[in-house]
Amino acid sequence: MASLENPPLDPAATLRDAVRAIEATHRRIAVVADAAGMLIGTLTDGDIRRGLLRGLTLEDGVASAMNAAPTTAHAASERSYLLELLVNRGFESLPLVDAQGRYVAVVSRYDLGPAGSAGAPVEARSAIALAVIMAGGEGQRLRPMTETLPKPMVDIGGMPLIERIVRSLIAAGVPQLRIAVNYLHHVIEQHLGDGSALGGRIDYLREKTKLGTAGALSLLTDRPDGPVLVMNGDVVTSFDCNALQRYHAEQEAMVTVAAMEYRVDIPYGVIQSDGACVTGLMEKPSQRFLCNAGIYMLSPEALERIPPDRAFNMTDLIETCLAAGQKVCIFPLHEYWADIGTPKDLADARLALLKLT
């Protein structure tokens, strides 16, 4: 039931090392142990992202975001006990230790499932009920390329950008996709069809007039029975949509906004002042901003706040939820992300993909 696929990290490891360890196995956890094998702590994807929100970087040590008092179980525990512990605590995985507290292995819910094998696969179906891709924009800054081609159909790494997005969502197990279309919609629909050639199911939300970055969601005929992923059709990213869903659920948010970090380095000494008086000096400061990445996870109830038949943006939805006292959270991205707005953005993304593949 347990597995040695999760070798422990050294206490000197970085958060980047922890990300790699988490991504290397379906157990979604990194374990830290000392030279004697004693368990020191654990890290999950959520631990790392919450650390990033506190200003940490992936070059910081694992201790900066680690859970130093994780729930553990004895390696000789019965299968039924381990499964009950995981379910009752809401954990995907937990470390197993021996009587002296030395790390032995990690066990997950999937290890304890019907197959009960250490190599149990990740669940085939995502907990995301529906993904909606906003693909109705004109891409005016990419003209003349977009005079006859909608921006989501621009080639990135040998395939249209929107096909790359669709393939990634289908591979992640998202069961249903909707694509909101307007400008040159027939080009997108003819290329992707109903999605069956890609192994998925695609339907289209056809905007008669431009409805903004959230208004097209009012065209959904049935309320989804789970969280809804919404993303712009001009984004290139390697992010894990299921990690976003799990984070959204952990935070019990109405809306979760994916955010990318943007730093501004000021190449001068900055004077701090109070009127005509100098109060301090900052030598070449760097300012950090979290910027909207155009990717969102919505609880189904959030869709009820979108008015029908008029333009309504995601920023409007977020402000509406905040005004109602509902929880809106940030999901900081550490994965590759690019917005394709200009010819330079497109060239940079094409070059970045060559390096990533």
Catalytic center residues: 284
DSSP 314-338: HHHHHHHHHHTT--EEEEE--S-EE
Q: Report the interhelical angle of 45-53 vs 241-251 (nearest 10°).
A: 70
- Look at residues 143, 52, 131, 129 and name the one whose alpha carbon lies nearest to residue 346: 143
Phi, psi of 146 (to 5 degrees): -95, 15
Exposed/middle/buried for residue 208 (C-beta within 10 Å: 0-12, 13-18, 19+): exposed
Contacts 24+ apart (CB under 8 A), 57-61: 57/15, 58/14, 58/15, 58/16, 58/19, 58/334, 59/14, 59/15, 59/16, 60/14, 60/15, 61/11, 61/12, 61/13, 61/14, 61/15
CA–CA distance, 76 with 99 (Å, rounded to integer): 9
Which residues are bridge partners to 261 per DSSP?
Answer: 290
- Cβ–Cβ < 8 Å for 61, 12: yes
Tokens 């009950």 sit on residue: 84
- Look at residues 207, 228, 225, 208 and name the one whose alpha carbon lies nearest to residue 216: 207
- Cβ–Cβ < 8 Å for 238, 336: yes
Q: Which residues contact 53 (CB under 8 A, 6 or more apart)?
A: 290, 330, 332
* Single-letter amino acid code for the residue at 232: N
The helix/strand/coil state of 211 is coil
Phi, psi of 58 (to 5 degrees): -70, -10
